[in-house]
Amino acid sequence: MSSDQITITPSSPHIGAEIGNIDLTKPLSDRQLADLRAAFLKYGVIFFREQDLSFADQMRLAEYFGHVHIHVGGAGTASKPAEGYPAIRLQHFDAKSKRISGEVWHSDQSCSEIPPDGSILIQKILPPDGGGDTLFASAYAAYDALSEPMKALLEPLSAEHDGAKLFDRSATVYPTAIHPVVTRHRETGRKLLFVNAGFTTRIVDLPRDESDAVLKYLFDHIAKPHWQMRFRWRENSVAFWDNRCTQHFAIWDYWPNVRSGYRVQFEGVSRPAR
Ligand code: SIN
């Protein structure tokens, strides 16, 4: 194996792969970057182990993929900007935490007109007895599994995504956005389900009772185990997900223990589209 050839170990049939033979504390070669980009698009979420990233390393990795993104949730979210790096969010939860970030199926900030394309999360401290895993689901596979009549029903519909549904309501006014219920990934061209329990409030083309029933069905559908995987973190593990075609759920089963890490995101370049 040549020195800059990454290894790829799929995590499940529909989503996720662990990447080896790479040191993310160093600048990447063109080949490494091309291989990582291809793996990111193919697997939806890629994982790395034993990467002792500084903030500068985490920023450099994000900047290979896009402009870094400043989180839209402001003071109402459970995370905070890292000292000196406003684009990096400290996600630290401990005995004093009243809630954590992302304990519901969601894609990050789908309440934005243009949600971030990707997120890169590293964990630095993990609970001593395990726990704090993250679930990831493929929104492609969830869409593919729907019947043709259900796909035909959903394709012309659009839904509202509201930041106030997920973030703490006391703080501020949050963005809302209307996105198609079924979108097409800008780079892979694949169709996927783009509603999530964290942010999606209603299907704007349907009366409220029909919207509630269809969304409940879709949220339950996304949460089925068939297109999911569960990532067990270790210190200095990194998860790097494509926010356009995956959803995730952070499990808070470790209170009062500490789980602490840092997340950076990079911006999308266009609205989610059919
Ligand atoms: C998030 O929703 O970005 C948090 C994911 C996690 O902490 O596992």
Report, as ranges of residue numbers, the positions in the chain whose pLDDT lies below 70: 1, 71-78, 168-172
Q: CA 267, CA 65: separation in Å to the nearest integer?
A: 9
Entry pTM:
0.95
How far apart are the CA of 150 and the centre of ligand 1, in A? 30
Determine if ligand 1 sits within 6 Å of the CB of residue 263.
yes
Pocket test for ligand 1, best of 123, 248, 253, 266 (most atoms within 8 A of CB): 248
Q: Which active-site residues does the annotation give?
A: 106, 108, 248, 263
Give the pLDDT confidence score for residue 82 in this predicted structure: 83
How far apart are the CA of 129 and the centre of ligand 1, in A? 19
Give the pLDDT confidence score for residue 80 in this predicted structure: 78
Give the pLDDT confidence score for residue 84 in this predicted structure: 85
